[in-house]
Amino acid sequence: MILWIIFAFMTAVAIFAVLWPLGRVSRAAGGGSDLLVYKDQLHEVDQDRASGLIGEAEAEAARLEVSRRLLAAADVPAPAFMPDAQPSLQRRRWAAIAAMLILPFGPLGLYVALGSPNLPGEPAFARVNTPGQESIAKLVSQVETHLEQNPNDGAGWEVLAPVYMQLNRFDDAVEARKKALKLNGENATREADLGEAETAAANGLVTAEAKVAFERAIARDPHEAKARYFLGLAAEQDGKIEEAAALWKALLADAPAGAPWVGFVREALARATGAPAAAPGPNANDVATASDMSDEQRRDMIRGMVTRLADRLHGDGADVEGWLRLVRAYVVLGDRDKAKDAAADARRALGDHPDDVKRIDDLIKGLGLDG
């Protein structure tokens, strides 16, 4: 409704702009302009006499001549209109009628014929995100084309890298992170992001390259939370459970209020210390109890958790993330044969999902279990 009001207002303004000059009547000045000229001449004569340029006799003669012309011009009747006023007035009337018809109804007719007057209104965001229009894949393709033509656009690589992560294109994310790091400069956040991408590309295994990136991040900023978490994960995967727990405890102690990653780190610490997995996080007593355990006792607790995970997966094998965790857990515990068996079970359970099977195979290669 508001749009139609705006259209009506704009149409009225357009009509007024056309009719205003058409409605003005051009009147001739008759002798009006001559009268002004002769009056100016009388004034000039008086100035010349006052300045001594002419004598009194010459001035008087000039005044008489100008006065005669002035009287003659004043006696000429001024016509109301120019000689062609009547035909011009007729044309203006027809032009005004045509403008009043064409301006409002012409565009309306075109819109009805070519537009979509019956289409319901939609917010701009809904129109942009309508299925079949700008898909994420198409937008990514456009950014990739831009970066092919502008490979030194560091901001573009910075934007594209997390999108690759969301699309599980981890190898592409690693390359994008490396280019962003090179073009935009080194800092703790970019180093940690690179390590995260390298870890994701290795199916959750903190590789040597990823660990180096996290260590560089910590060297630049000892409080970089992402790097601290993954260094704890690297320690856990290397079988250094106490070191992993210590890193995660320190991270939780330094966590700002409301940090979104606190729950994730608590789960990791619960896994390392043997606290119940269903608990939201280890409380002080749980951590103290686990800290008093011997390494063998703690490993027994971890084995119990791994066994429960394996039992669940054999009952419901559609959880690829669970299979990946189970394989890594067996490697951490040193049970490489069980890790291979779990991978074989995962392939059978996920046989209808080739992408998930590929993730299992990639993890096996990354862990060196394919030999």
Cα Rg of the chain, angstroms: 44
The domain locations on the chain are 137-239
d(C-alpha 181, C-alpha 196), whole Å: 13
What digits encode the pLDDT tens for the residues 311-326? Answer: 888 877 788 888 888 8
Q: Is the pLDDT of residue 127 over 60?
A: no
137-239 under CATH 1.25.40.10, yes or no:
yes
Distances (CA, A) of 278 to 129, 217, 308: 39, 32, 12
What pLDDT sits at residue 179? 95
Distances (CA, A) of 58 to 28, 49, 264, 277: 35, 9, 112, 123
**φ/ψ (deg, to 5) at 53:** -70, -30
8 A C-beta contact, residue 282 and residue 269: yes
- pLDDT grade for 153, boundaries at 50, 70 and 90: very high
What digits encode the pLDDT tens for the residues 269-326? Answer: 888 876 543 333 344 444 444 445 566 666 666 677 778 888 888 877 788 888 888 8
Token look-up 């012309």 returns 69
Task: Write the DSSP string, 231-290.
Answer: HHHHHHHTT-HHHHHHHHHHHHHTPPTT-TTHHHHHHHHHHHHT--TTSSS--HHHHHHH
Residues 6+ apart with CB under 8 A from 11: 103, 104, 107
The three-state secondary structure class of 88 is: helix
Least confident of 4-13, 47-56, 155-164, 180-189: 4-13
**What's the sign of the alpha-carbon dihedral 196, 200, 204, 210?**
negative
